[in-house]
Structure 1
Amino acid sequence: MSRLAVFGGTPAVPREMRHVRWPVVTDADRAAVLRVLDSDIMVSNAPGETAVLELERRWAQRVEVAHCVGVSNGTDALSLALAALGVGPGDEVIVPALSFIATALGPLHQMAVPVFADIDPVTFNLDPADVERRITPRTAAIVVVHLHGLPADMDALGALADRHGLAIVEDAAQAHGATLRGRPVGGLGKVGAFSIQVTKNLPTCGEGGLVTTDDAEIAGRIRQSRQFGEVIAPGRPRDYLSERFGWNAKLNPIQAAFTTSQLDRFDEYEKLRQANIVPFLDRLAALPGFHVPFAPADRTHAWHVLRFRIDLPAAGMDGGRPGAVRDALCRLLRAEGVPAGQYQRIPLPQQRVFLDREGFGRGYPWAIAGTPVQDVDFPVAEQVIADSLVLQKRHLHPDSGPLLQRYADAFEKVWEHRDLVRSMAAS
């Protein structure tokens, strides 16, 4: 049995392999940014062709929709999408109990109440049955998150939305390039919202977001709303007249140019990513009691985050507390050079911002419709958080194959010492 690094053994992952830069920045990316700097067209509402327009066309084509609107970040993408759908005070929007907090802040920014639904224990996406029981006469929309890069069950959720006359907004912030039966996410609902923040599979050099839709009217509203409610169009002089309520949520052309350059390599990187990650997951799937993420036959997974669940009885660690076992595993894996962590620590409805209901002050928006106190206990989301650990970002690099094989070595090494893990967790 190999000696663990935490006790002085040789780490499975050599130190020289541990630093992995993401995104990969090339001379082509630098040249794209310099072209914008040299052009003097540094805002998205400049007259004529801008880097933002080019990215919008390219991403709309990639997602197979008619329209794409570049915005300042993924959170604004969600907020503007909901605003364009007419979601507002007194409305409810169903969101998953497990997601990044922006998913639930988007409705709140519209003075709508986020209503949480539990998730599926295997896909980590919305459970359609739990969604249906949360629908009320005030429900206006469902925000469907393709969590970690796996498309949600859009057939069941779409049928549910159609029966109740609800709009679906896809939160595809982690799912660039993922497909359901050959159709890209972001074009499966009424509106799609993407983040291109620097950590994402399709990154910019900072913050940014993209909104996708086939509806020209919705796209027009979002274009207005991102620019103070004004009508901004190429070749049309700016009149500084606000036609609707708006924000200042524009995407910078420098960021757009960087992302467009990244998009030139996106399919190549995605192909390499699949080739690197699948063999890694195959090795980990052989470990007793260790459940790896997977892609059902009808969809592809973008693998933005890799979440692993631990079945304690199957792993021979009966009676242990899931969170304590996870923490012990993370400690041992980090000593071996694997940056394992927890990511979300509590379900979204247990975040203080939703428990305190301060919102915009004096309890709004909850006070508008007299919204009753909602559930804070979501057993599936809570169990998934308790018994899972994640890997982030480093596996996105197209050359990460050798590193992931070293990670697999580390997992296998630690798994040989499950008795130690159990005793560490107990203490």
Structure 2
Amino acid sequence: MIPFLDLKAQYASIKDEIEPAVLRVLASGQYILGDEVAHLEEEFADFCNVKHAIAVNTGTSALHLALLAAGVGPGDEVITVPFTFVATVSAICYTGARPVFVDVEPVTLTMDPAQVEAKITPRTKAIIPVHLYGQMAGMDAIKAVADRYRVPVIEDACQAHGAEYKDRRAGSIGVSGCFSFYPGKNLGACGEGGIVVTNSDDQAQTIRMLRDWGQEQRYRHLLKGFNYRMDAIQGAILRIKLRHLEAWTEARRAHARRYSLLLAGSPHLKTPVEVEDRRHVYHVYAVRSRDRDGLQRALTAEGIQSGLHYPIPVHLQKAHADLGYRMGDFPISEAAAHEVLSLPIYPEMTARQVEQVVAAMEYAYVG
């Protein structure tokens, strides 16, 4: 069997580093925030080339707090895309604001900058482009519109650790950037975790208070905050993994290049496109097929796992029917939802496994 991802293999490769770090935290008695989390914040800020990083308990919490720190609240509007994981939209709803969607570009499946300006109203208080599958959205064009209307951009970089746009790291271009450390991410915790990065001293101070009950110091609550603190064990684990992230990223990129080479010219598939001015980190290697479901069944029959990211756009989810959108409102997102299939990709994967996946796909079409 070829798994979609192999967290056990990753753990085995760094077990001798992880276990002493965890035991060190257990012996310290410092289990929430503390030194390990503070060091992770410093190191991740350096990784993203920003001044501040504030660690939280999930990527969703990171988005929620970034929105609040940007002043988003009830009655406001936030522009984002429907082709994303539901957490992007849920975080907007948590603030009391209304999500307003624009469609994605057909090649990158990231926010179409040409559609943003038409959706801006006096109630627009933020724009959230989603760096989907590990590739950043067209940030210059998005920022140009946002700056013209003085609307902050918050990057949903939950799938884009180490991705770049014109040599700028994900999270470093908007007023803030939000990352998830869910176990399956390129940089994943052994549990839940997230982080907000920013170059703004004010944003950092506000988010730091909001994640810990709105405290400026112990028992001095300046804001109505939340319990969104990161566990120290996750901080220690993520510090270890961060040291390996660049090597893991290059392994993912090598596997992606091999997939694209072997699948080139297929009349049945569209493979991902890495835009020239961007560094794709391939959190997901998503191909497009008009018979996506049939292809997935064929791979499953050969013992190859795959994933769907995402089969139903958010605007068509029953949970968000109150937004009033209908089928046909965002045709690019809707088409992608019926066609995308995520193939196995993870650093520990072998070239032989990539070849086996491709062979199984070829057999599915001609066998």
**Fold conserved (TM > 0.5)?**
yes
Are the counterparts in 2 of residues 71 and 208 from structure 1 also a CA contact under 8 Å? yes
Report the secondary structure of 2:298's partner residue.
helix
Whole-angstrom distance in 1 between the partners of 2:318 and 2:362: 38
Note if 1:219 corresponds to 2:207: no
Whole-angstrom distance in 1 between the partners of 2:79 and 2:364: 40
Shift of 1:374: 4.8
Report the secondary structure of 2:21's partner residue.
helix
Note if 1:297 corresponds to 2:297: no
Are the counterparts in 2 of residues 225 and 246 from structure 1 also a CA contact under 8 Å? yes
Whole-angstrom distance in 1 between the partners of 2:362 and 2:317: 35
Q: How many residues are treated as equivalent by the alignment?
A: 362
Using the TM superposition, name which of 63-72 and 127-136 deviates more. 127-136
Shift in alpha-carbon separation, 1:19–1:79, aligned structure 2, 3 A = closer
Shift in alpha-carbon separation, 1:19–1:231, aligned structure 2, 3 A = same
Normalised to the residue count of structure 1, the TM-score between the two structures is 0.82
Whole-angstrom distance in 2 between the partners of 1:328 and 1:266: 34
Note if 1:38 corresponds to 2:17: no
Quick one: which amino acid aligns to residue 342 of structure 1?
Answer: L
Shift of 1:401: 2.6
Equivalent residues in 2 for 1:153-168, closer than 5 Å? 153-168=138-153
Are the counterparts in 2 of residues 79 and 109 from structure 1 also a CA contact under 8 Å? yes
Could you tell me which runs of 5 or more consecutive residues in structure 1 were left unpaired when the two chains were aligned.
Answer: 1-14, 233-237, 311-321, 358-372, 418-427
- Matched-pair identity in %: 38
Could you tell me which runs of 5 or more consecutive residues in structure 2 were left unpaired when the two chains were aligned.
Answer: none
Whole-angstrom distance in 1 between the partners of 2:248 and 2:176: 26
Report the secondary structure of 1:382's partner residue.
helix
Whole-angstrom distance in 1 between the partners of 2:142 and 2:121: 16
Are the counterparts in 2 of residues 284 and 411 from structure 1 also a CA contact under 8 Å? no
Greater CA radius of gyration, 1 or 2?
Answer: 1
Match of 1:342 in 2: 308
Are the counterparts in 2 of residues 80 and 222 from structure 1 also a CA contact under 8 Å? yes
Deviation per residue, 1:90-121 (Å, 9 max, x gap): 10001101000000011110000011111111
Alignment match of 2:55 (pick from 59, 70, 74)? 70
Quick one: which amino acid aligns to residue 249 of structure 2?
Answer: E
Whole-angstrom distance in 2 between the partners of 1:125 and 1:190: 19
Are the counterparts in 2 of residues 227 and 248 from structure 1 also a CA contact under 8 Å? yes
Whole-angstrom distance in 2 between the partners of 1:229 and 1:20: 38
Equivalent residues in 2 for 1:181-200, closer than 5 Å? 181-200=166-185
Match of 1:414 in 2: 364
CA RMSD of aligned residues (A): 1.6
Shift of 1:128: 1.2
Shift of 1:18: 4.5
Note if 1:265 corresponds to 2:215: no
Note if 1:379 corresponds to 2:331: yes
Whole-angstrom distance in 1 between the partners of 2:27 and 2:308: 43
Are the counterparts in 2 of residues 277 and 401 from structure 1 also a CA contact under 8 Å? no
Are the counterparts in 1 of residues 4 and 307 from structure 2 also a CA contact under 8 Å? no
Alignment match of 2:232 (pick from 253, 266, 286)? 253
Quick one: which amino acid aligns to residue 24 of structure 2?
Answer: R
Match of 1:79 in 2: 64
Shift of 1:337: 2.3
Match of 1:328 in 2: 294
Report the secondary structure of 2:128's partner residue.
strand
Shift of 1:306: 1.5
Report the secondary structure of 2:7's partner residue.
coil
Shift in alpha-carbon separation, 1:18–1:151, aligned structure 2, 3 A = closer
Report the secondary structure of 2:153's partner residue.
strand
Report the secondary structure of 1:54's partner residue.
helix
Are the counterparts in 1 of residues 4 and 305 from structure 2 also a CA contact under 8 Å? no
Match of 1:175 in 2: 160
Whole-angstrom distance in 2 between the partners of 1:166 and 1:18: 42
Normalised to the residue count of structure 2, the TM-score between the two structures is 0.95
**4+ residue runs of structure 1 moved beyond 6 angstroms?**
none
Deviation per residue, 1:113-147 (Å, 9 max, x gap): 01111111110001112222211111111011000
Are the counterparts in 2 of residues 118 and 131 from structure 1 also a CA contact under 8 Å? no
Quick one: which amino acid aligns to residue 157 of structure 1?
Answer: I
Quick one: which amino acid aligns to residue 353 of structure 1?
Answer: A
Are the counterparts in 1 of residues 78 and 124 from structure 2 also a CA contact under 8 Å? yes
Quick one: which amino acid aligns to residue 362 of structure 2?
Answer: E
Quick one: which amino acid aligns to residue 42 of structure 1?
Answer: Y
Are the counterparts in 1 of residues 295 and 361 from structure 2 also a CA contact under 8 Å? no
Report the secondary structure of 1:197's partner residue.
coil
Whole-angstrom distance in 2 between the partners of 1:336 and 1:242: 57
Shift of 1:402: 2.3
Report the secondary structure of 2:220's partner residue.
coil
Alignment match of 2:42 (pick from 53, 57, 68)? 57
Report the secondary structure of 1:144's partner residue.
coil
Whole-angstrom distance in 1 between the partners of 2:80 and 2:305: 29
Whole-angstrom distance in 2 between the partners of 1:275 and 1:104: 32
Are the counterparts in 2 of residues 287 and 415 from structure 1 also a CA contact under 8 Å? no
Match of 2:353 in 1: 403
Shift in alpha-carbon separation, 1:229–1:19, aligned structure 2, 3 A = closer
Quick one: which amino acid aligns to residue 166 of structure 2?
Answer: R
Note if 1:243 corresponds to 2:193: no
Note if 1:28 corresponds to 2:11: no
Whole-angstrom distance in 1 between the partners of 2:110 and 2:97: 22
Shift in alpha-carbon separation, 1:326–1:399, aligned structure 2, 3 A = closer
Shift of 1:407: 0.7
